Structure 1
Amino acid sequence: MTINQEQYPDNALVDGPLRIESLQAIHGAGYYSAGPVIILQLNLGDYGEVFTNKIPGFAEKLKNTLPTLEEHKCSEGESGGFFKRIIEGTLLGHVAEHIVIELQALAGMNVNFGKTKSTGKKGIYNVIFRFINENAGFYTARASVNLLNQILTGKEPDDIDQITGNLSYIYEKEMMSTGIAAIKEEADMRNIPVIPLQTCNLVQFGTGKYQKRIRGTVTSQTPLIGAENTRNKYLNTLMLSNAGIPAPETLKTEDIEEVVSFWKSQRKPVTLKSPARLDEASLFPGINHEDVLKEAFIRCKAHDDEVLVQEQIPGMSYRILVINNRFVAATLLQNPEVVGNGKDTIARLIEKLNKEQNRQSVKRAGLKILQPDDAMLEVLSFYGYTLDDVPEKGKKILLSHYPSAKNGALTTDVTGEVHPQNQQIAERAARISGLDVAGVNIVCPDISKPIEDTQGAVVDIIPGQDFQMYLNPWQGKRRDVAAPFLDMLFPENAPFRITVISVTGSAGKSVCAYLVNFMLEKEGYKTGLAHSDGIYIDGHRIIREDMANHHAAQLILKDPGVDCAVLETSAESIMSEGLGYDFADVGIVLNVHPQHLYLDSIHNTDDLAHAKSVVAEEVYRDGYSILNADEPLILSMRERIYSKPILFTKKTDNPEFKKHCLKGGMGAGVENNEIFLWTHGGKNCIARLSDIPLWGNGKNDILLESILAAICTAAAMDLHPERISHLLKAFKPDSSSLHGRLMTIYPNQNTVIIDKPAGPIALKNLKNKLADNKDNYEIFTDLSGNIPDDFWLHFSNVFKKENIRVNLFFSQNDFQNSGSPFIADAQNSAIIPLKNRYQKPKIFHDKMDEKSIVDTIKNQMNRNTGKNFEFRYFKNAIECIKKLETNTKTHTFLLFSWNFRYLQQLISQNLIFL
């Protein structure tokens, strides 16, 4: 995501020796941090190995540019420690790290995490830093590099106040309102998941079927009829009055004569307003003159066909907050006004008042800045003023008719002063209006006395009452209104999150996810399954692309029909996006094989294990981390987890596994060709390996880790061992359950093995399957779909000593442009295909000729092995597929496809066996 230059201040990069190679936002826990970070990949160019103590005058220039860096302690542990490091000598990537942190802090975004890591490429470093607002983080990264380039080239650095002002603007524009932010903070303390939904003030609390959504303080529980009724001011007033609640006498009319007659009958001032809206443009209080009454009537009619005229209730305006029919807080609201001095214009008096009262434009300000707008001009013109008029000394000029913190009203906490009888009236008014959260507007001389004794009244009910005035009043005590709000959404002991199961590994994670999902569906769960074949909600596939990623997890957690999420989590997603959930209930790490080493910062299996360990680490304390005890890199993850470990092994004589079980730990392992489960209840035999269809009498031994991990997961979900055994035997590996993984079909006495191998281990497993028939097999490869980047290299290395015919075809002519679900991009309001956000570009295209395709494949192979293969390209995919039905002699075929849904259609429509 990049900054929209039409919305945000420009900070284009200046010329200089330092260059930004890339900027990337990681939104969930990932390789570098357990929280969201931005990765600034910085090319230091000629300064790649130059330390700051070798750059003349650098420390002094940096201190003059950004003197507040003096407070940074760095590794020295005391103020001034960072500059001590600069004087002693450090690389410029480290300096950039401190600048991005400091600039965000100066703009009100207090972040304190940063690190700088080498990419392994000369002079190129990853500067990793925490962010609160993504666009502000990107802006900060560019601004920081600009400052360094300006210092290094001797140019005048950009103005720091201007930079931080722009950052504050970006942050303010996208930040949550005060009320939403307070509710989120309270939810974080209660470990309730919080998911922003497109806009900063539409937020989901909780996940899946337990979720509650709010916009402002209107909740998913707020009755629509209650909100609609309170917006109709006439209807709401009648409802209150008919219920015996003190309310102003009111007339709705289109006739000015009826308005005048009503005013005369009252013999006191009246208020005119629109029945359908309430703001300065349609509210005129305190009218006690016929000419003024007619003027107000004309102005109201400009906004609505009908007009409400009410008796004027004497006193001050109080806003009583009622949540879940309970009194919570109260604020006195006073409309802003300026007092003439006989010299200054009204515009100048407003400027002075803003300064005197320290009014600010930021969302969380105690007093909002007064800015002349159409509503204020309407009020002024009603009294015969303009902004350029100079009122006489002592003359009070009202700037707003509607008391609201948003309009700049003075707010004073009076929660402790509200008479109990008035509290009860407010609670009953909210209840009659049908609102779960309501602002009850009471006008009376003194809120500490019963309004029935002081001729006070309830003049309005506001749905979705803003919390700003209670959380940050101009005067008085701050009130905790977020806690009772969350108490309403999630009463004590009410569930707020669904079960999350996350599985990662180098091989078998999709199969493990399928098996776990199958078991849970049979147990009655409404599951959401995300993996490399797509997304399934309650057994129905809704997306057919590779969705083992951050967005898929979020999509499932947002679905109100789901009570359990089963997520395949790929190494690519961990590195590029981070986890799509906060914490899991079960985190599974199957295995770590030497693949995915092409990913940035992944140079060896240790790095890969560190990336995958995130799935084991980000698990609730009362959850389970399921680990492969046969792999030391995975077993060592126990040192970094806070959850309860469950181990699995192919060999129960594994010393670490035995020690774990002897201490009462849970686990699963193979012993004498049987799978046993160790739980708190003892050792239980789950099944003989030969009785498990997925194991395939040893032909699918590569899936044994997936089977063991799924058994451990079922035990963690409290399934009884006998039930686990039954479900394991009931899972049949076919096209509906495995979707193109290790499927075997038998057309005309031939054997066709369909798979989508992800790396060398899977390919070696397939080669072993062919050991008894190695002189009589062919390989078919579907070039549609997302073939792994390193597939042909691994393929050539595994099969390099074989002389094999490789038949190439496309099951789908134009995979990239096929129909797919769509999502909205919240930043630019564009609707884009969901898969385009995650899918890698196609390497092959059906319009390429045979030579181009074969050359492309050979370029991806080792040069020494490509000559062992005979390639044949079929432009007609049906012609190629029909070769699988040959009955001249018994053949074995390997069919590779990463686009199984189209392959399945192609086969089912043209062959008799599927």
Structure 2
Amino acid sequence: MIIKDIRVYRGRNIYCHRPVIKLTVDIEGQNLPTKDIPGFNDRLIELLPGLAKHNCSYGYEGGFLKRLKEGTYIPHVTEHIILELEYLLGYNSKFGKARMVEGDIYNIIFEYGLEECALRLSKLAVEIVNKLINKENINLEKKLEEIRKVVVEIELGPSTMAIKKAAEYAGIPVERVGNGSILRLGYGRYQKMVEGTISQNTNCIAVDIACDKLLTKQILKEYGFAVPEGSIAYNEDDAISIAEEIGYPVAIKPYNGNQGRGVFLNLTNKENVLVAYRNAKNISDLVIVEKYIKGRNYRVLVVGDRVVAAAERIPARIISDGIHTVKELIEIENRNPLRGLGHEKPLTEIKIDTISKLLLKKQGFELYDIPPKNSYIYLKESANLSTGGTAIDKTEEIHPENIKLAVRAAKVIGLDIAGIDITMDNISKPLTDKNGAIIEINAAPGIRMHHYPTKGKSRNVAAAVIDMLFPKGSKSTIPIVSVTGTNGKTTTVRMIAQILKTFGYTVGITCTDGIYVDDVCIYKGDSSGPKSAKTCLSDKNIDAAVLETARGGIIREGLGYDLADVGVITNISEDHMGIDGIETVEDLAFVKALVIEAVKKDGYCVLNADDPMTSYFNERARGRIIYFSRHENNLTIKKHVENGGISVYVKNDTIVIANGQIIPVVKIDEIPATLNGKVEYNIENALAAIASSFGINVPVNIISKGIKIFYCDENYNPGRFNIFNVGNFRVLVDYGHNIAGIKKVIESAQKLNPNRLIGVIGVPGDRSDSSILKIGEICGNGFDKVFIKEDINLRGRKSGEIAKLLEIGVLKGGLLKEDIKIILKETEAFKTAMYKAQPGDLIIVFYEKYKPIIDTINDFVKNKVFSNKVQEIKLERA
């Protein structure tokens, strides 16, 4: 079996509403069920005994084993191997399926926890299958350990992961930015960013102060806080001099160290000071020597204006059993499942370093000694969890005065989230300069000690951080409208955006032309996919987002947002058949239905009651439904209104909203985009836009005002039924590129009473031959004369291939050979059509690129006005 392709779906997708990976594999003729491959099943279960617990399709533990015995195939087995490998590395992924594509090609789709980990595990799973088939050995533990080391480097730490989960629990969209600890919480104007426990509200100067331990102490001392006396040592003599001046015992620490690295405590003589200084010097050029404060080490966590947790931190230690050596006891403790590398797990593995050896010596032990039974052996001076320490929750024991003191200390430094390190005998008593001191203040305090204390109650500090960033009643996201369908998506998006701009919103828009913030294009090109949606939603200037969500992006990557307030399906008809596994209109509907599945519970699904696929979408819709229709007597509309639902429809040439009462919105002839009702499909688009705007609580008078100033021109709706007066004839520019779209444009154009209707037609090369022939037939039936051109991007077709198919279709539609001209270059075909035009003609050009068409019109007008000679020459060339 070999991997042919790997595709990652990071958001909601057509397979699952959680992130998945699609693995396309070639089983290379290995079509036997695994029960018929000698020894395969037995070796598989021996290698991965946890597979015995998999439910599989039977829905009970052991179901997968039953499938193995009955006979199942390699792709299905591979799916379960991947899920089991994920479980072994700490990810409880459940969803998976395997489906045949064609012949030996299969898709294996599985949920994942960490992308980089899952990608590596999928390759390992294929390797395992191949080795089991070939009866080869595999060192699974070694392979997993290699991947585990990568995971430790990439996975979010416990603190950041806790904040991510707290945000998700609060219903706030979360996105990891890069591979570090930065999270983006929310969308648009209301989004916030955090890095670990540093929020975007955290003052940079405050962070700098907290990182400068000596400066922190100086400021705290100025405000009357108890702090240990001390100073900076620039060399060994300074270190000894300071220690003797303030008096032993002393503590030595790097000036800008963290996580307890290089910290030496309770030093009582010159020799110890020199050793400690030299070690601290390896971490920082400057070294702090300060008075050692005797007592217990406490971490008090301040979030905003309150203390949300307190813990006593215990330095890394072991308890002797009287049998094993110190080294063996450390190894036994490190096998504790709660301990891992770095910040991988609630506790960190204990590492032996110079500090550990010196501390052991102070206690009278070496690594290979066996200490007396039940005695504690300390291995670190500092109590940081990152050096192997543990924590005991003391939140309910902290004295009220110490709570006030901790909050005040954080404010003095200027931190919104702070870890206050206090050393004293008992935190349940008020802190004074006689019984302890504030040792330091941390600007990015770890919170795993509070979420996973070794003893005591877990404290949901992450939730407190989220509550501070997004206080009760505040917003974390903006209104999002996602629009899909076969035709009308772009126009509907632009109509909604115009209404929202009229409402006063700064609107982010994605569509086939680009990404816009209000009227400013920030990216030019097709932007109807998930990457564009993410770009739009990450813009801090926008108050609302209207996203065109096309089939291709959904199939390739899923959605670029979490949940929308409104999901819109304009219509469904034949388009893109034979591409990406879409063979029928039902297949297409299945893909596009994702937009109305990914809607908030209190959101709306806007559906076209005139569309034949509406009954299918009814079953898939997650939010409440708003129907729209051009017909007052549509049965779906009538029934929905009778049942208390909301509908938008045309009544006596006026668009109305039925919501317990009939609310007039706008007359059809007051909507410029409909050209007095002649462009019927823009009536449908207006209905969808009005329904969507009503779904996000835009007042009806604003909806009416916004739709009345939306024109089908190059300013409001470029490339969609744009009409230009060019001398004594007209040009209609449109992006029609499928059967339904082209047919509707022609029907609307015929209502404009042209002398002749001339078509400049082409079709994208990825359409099926039957679709191309049908489009040609429609054009042959609708136009008086046709110029056939081809796109620059042939999408795998040979030059002239599309044109020939269109010509066959046009002839079938009824045009004569002499009324058809093939000019493959789009602008040349269009230019020729204009120079051949007669008074009163209407030329429709279905373009590939909009700007070259507009430039061609402008050049034509310029040449005609200023140089009849030029016009004559160009006519001759045509």
Separation in 1, partners of 2:346, 2:652: 72
2:14 pairs with 1:34: no
Paired with 1:267 and 1:624, the residues of 2 have a C-alpha distance of: 72
The residue aligned with 2:58 is 76
Report the counterpart of residue 236 of structure 1 in structure 2: 216
- Does the alignment pair 1:544 with 2:527? no
Size of the aligned set, in residue pairs, is 850
SS for the counterpart of 1:487 is helix
CA offsets, 1:302-324, max 9 Å, x none?
Answer: 66665433222122322111111
Cα distance in 2 for partners of 1:308, 1:251 equals: 6
1:142–1:326: structure 2 CA closer, same or farther, 3 Å change rule? same
CA contact (8 A) 2:260 2:387 kept: no
Tell me: CA distance 1:733–1:446, structure 2 relative to 1, closer, same or farther (3 Å): same
Which residue matches 2:707?
A: 728
Does 2:853 match 1:871? no
For residues 407-446 of structure 1, the aligned pairs below 5 Å read 407-446=387-426
Q: Identify unmatched segments of 5+ residues in structure 2.
A: 866-878
Q: Distance in 2 between matches of 1:794 and 1:163?
A: 55
Query: Mean alpha-carbon deviation: is it higher for 549-558 or for 61-70?
Result: 61-70
Amino acid at match of 1:495: K
Secondary structure in structure 1 of the residue aligned to 2:7: strand
Match of 2:350 among 345, 353, 370: 370
Tell me the distance in 2 between the aligned counterparts of 1:383 and 1:162: 33
User: 2:741: which partner in 1?
Assistant: 762
CA distance in structure 2 between the aligned counterparts of 1:619 and 1:887, rounded to whole angstroms? 49
Query: Aligned AA for 2:161?
Result: A
Q: Deviations over 1:191-224 (max 9, x none)?
A: 1111111125110122211111110110011111
How big is the shift at 1:143? 3.0
Structure 1 residue aligned with 2:341: 361
Residues 766 and 796 in structure 2, CA contact (< 8 A), matched pair in contact too? no
Structure 1 residue matching 2:201: 3-state secondary structure? coil
Partner secondary structure for residue 117 of structure 2: helix
The residue identity in structure 1 corresponding to 2:138 is D
Q: CA deviation at 1:504?
A: 0.6
SS of corresponding position for 2:472: coil
Distance 1:878 1:763, change over 3 A: closer
Counterpart Cα distance in 1 of 2:443 and 2:673: 56
> 1:642 and 1:338 mapped to 2: Cα distance?
54
* 1:98-177 matches, cutoff 5 A: 98-119=80-101, 121-151=102-132, 153-156=133-136, 158-177=138-157
- The equivalent residue for 2:79 is 97
> Structure 1 counterpart of 2:799, which letter?
I
Q: Distance between the aligned counterparts of 2:755 and 2:138, measured in 1? A: 71
Overall identity of the aligned pairs, in %: 28
Shift of 1:437: 1.0
1:715 maps to what in 2? 694
Letter paired with 1:66? L
What is the distance in 2 between the residues matched to 1:679 and 1:290?
A: 85
Q: Distance in 2 between matches of 1:657 and 1:356?
A: 63
Q: Residues of 2 paired with 1:80 and 1:217: CA distance?
A: 43
Q: Is the 8 A contact 2:569 2:606 kept in 1?
A: yes
Counterpart of 1:617? 597
User: Equivalents in 2 of 1:805, 1:515: separation in Å?
Assistant: 32
* Residue of structure 2 equivalent to 1:22: 5
* Kept in 1: contact 2:359–2:379 (CA 8 A): no
CA contact (8 A) 2:761 2:786 kept: no
Distance 1:511 1:879, change over 3 A: closer
Q: Distance in 2 between matches of 1:101 and 1:668?
A: 47
Deviation digits for residues 526-556 of structure 1 (CA, Å, limit 9, x no counterpart): 1111111111113311001111111112122
Does residue 806 in structure 1 map to residue 756 in structure 2? no
Where 1:735 maps in the other structure, the secondary structure is coil
1 CA distance for matches of 2:796 and 2:75? 39
1:268 to 248, 252, 255: 248
- Amino acid of the structure 1 residue aligned with 2:635: P
Distance in 2 (alpha carbons) for counterparts of 1:155 and 1:393: 46
- Kindly provide the amino acid, as one letter, of the partner of residue 52 in structure 2: E
1:494-893 equivalences in 2 (<5 Å): 494-680=474-660, 682-769=661-748, 771=750, 776=756, 778-780=758-760, 789=767, 792=772, 795-799=775-779, 804-806=785-787, 808=789, 843=795, 853-855=799-801, 857-858=803-804, 869-873=820-824, 881=831, 884=834, 889-893=839-843
Alpha-carbon distance in 2 for matches of 1:226, 1:242: 16
Aligned residue number for residue 894 of structure 1: 844
Contact 2:259 2:386 in 1 (8 A): no
Structure 1: distance between partners of 2:845 and 2:480: 34
Q: Over aligned residue pairs, what C-alpha RMSD do you find?
A: 3.7
Kept in 2: contact 1:39–1:128 (CA 8 A): yes
Q: 1:383 to 1:92 in 2, by over 3 A?
A: closer
SS in 1 for 2:675: helix
TM-superposed deviation, 1:664: 2.4
- What is the CA–CA distance in structure 2 between the aligned matches of 1:863 and 1:509, rounded to whole Å? 27
CA, structure 1 residues 426+793, in 2 after alignment: closer, same or farther (shift >3 Å)? farther
Q: Report the equivalent of 2:315.
A: 335
Aligned letter for 1:725?
S
- 8 Å contact kept, 1:343–1:390: no
Are the structure 2 counterparts of residues 29 and 283 from structure 1 closer, same or farther at C-alpha, using a change threshold of 3 Å? Answer: closer
Q: State the SS of the aligned residue for 2:347.
A: coil
**Is the 1:342–1:390 contact (alpha carbons within 8 Å) kept by the matching residues of 2?**
no
For the residues of structure 2 that align with 1:109 and 1:523, how far apart are their CA atoms? 45
1:90 Cα deviation from its structure 2 partner? 3.8
Paired letter, 1:221: N
Classify 1:294/1:910 alpha carbon distance in 2 versus 1 (closer, same or farther; 3 Å).
farther
State the 1:57 CA deviation: 5.4
Closer, same or farther: CA 342–292 of 1 in aligned 2, 3 Å: farther
Distance 1:400 1:445 in 2: 19
Counterparts of 1:281-296 in structure 2 under 5 Å?
A: 283-293=263-273, 296=276
The aligned counterpart of 1:186 is 166
In structure 2, the CA distance between the partners of 1:625 and 1:169, relative to structure 1 (3 Å rule), is same
1:314 aligns with 2:294: yes
Aligned equivalents of 1:545, 1:425: Cα separation in 2: 57
Q: What is the CA-CA distance between 1:296 and the residue it aligns to?
A: 4.9
Specify the SS of the correspondent of 1:272: strand
Amino acid at match of 1:94: H
Please state how far the C-alpha of 1:579 moved relative to its aligned partner: 1.3
Please give the per-residue CA displacement for 1:545-581, whole angstroms capped at 9, x wherever unaligned. 1111111121222222112110111111111111111
Query: Which range moves more in the overlay, 864-873 or 91-100?
Result: 864-873
- Following superposition, the deviation at residue 441 of structure 1 comes to 0.8
TM-score of the pair, normalised by structure 1? 0.84
Q: Distance in 2 between matches of 1:94 and 1:305?
A: 58
Aligned-residue offset at 1:521 = 0.6
Larger mean CA deviation between 304-313 and 450-459 belongs to 304-313
Kindly tell me: are residues 99 and 760 of structure 1, through their superposed partners in 2, closer, same or farther at Cα, counting changes over 3 Å?
same
What is the CA–CA distance in structure 1 between the aligned matches of 2:533 and 2:256, rounded to whole Å?
42
- Give the SS at the match of 1:209: helix
Structure 1 residues 894 and 276, CA, compared in 2 at 3 Å: closer, same or farther? same
Q: 2:787 touches 2:833 (CA, 8 Å); kept in 1?
A: no
1:381 Cα offset (Å): 7.9
Q: 1:896 is aligned with what amino acid?
A: F
